[in-house]
Amino acid sequence: MGKIIITGLVAGAVLLLISVIGLYTITLIFPEATLQYVDSAFDTESHKRIVYYLHPFVISLALSWFWVRFRSVLRGTFFTRGIEFGLIYSLVATFPMMWLIYSALNISLAMVVTWFILALIQGIIAGLVLEKMNP
């Protein structure tokens, strides 16, 4: 259990860094898409902002537990196992959620696609960190 928590926290720290870098990168590459964040649907001034920064740790702890249960099924090299793990997470968890968000909320497809791509990158990086720390 301790190994799950430690690897989850390390992966969470890496994902937090990636999330912040990804957020600023997207605002530079797609400035028109970031204008959507000005909408009242996004509460950027709230005390709940900490929840955004805790998100990578929540995901990483869950993925760390899932990794321990699932890693024996994955075959291949360090990279293929980590990448496949990230792809599985993205297709099983992220894609259906992005589909639901796009169908239910008034946000653009571009925004949902950028969220999916960032989640895919996070999943792959988490898979690589988990593979490295807990093979």
- Domain of 76, in residue numbers: 2-133
Q: What's the structural domain count of the chain?
A: 1
pLDDT confidence of residue 39? 66
Q: Most confidently modeled of 74-78, 96-100, 130-134?
A: 96-100
In percent, how much of the chain has pLDDT > 90? 17
Side chain identity at residue 97, one-letter code: M
pLDDT digits (tens, 9 = 90+) for 19-78: 888 778 878 887 777 777 666 666 666 777 788 888 889 988 888 898 888 888 888 888
pTM value?
0.79
Residues contacting 82, CB < 8 A, separation 6+:
124, 127, 128, 129, 130, 131, 132
The pLDDT value given to residue 110? 82
Q: Which one, of 135, 121, 90, 126, lies nearest residue 10 by Cα?
A: 126
**CB atoms near residue 47 (< 10 Å):** 7
- 9 within 8 A of 50, measured Cβ to Cβ: no
pLDDT at 41: 65
Residue of 73, 78, 16 whose CA lies nearest to 50? 16
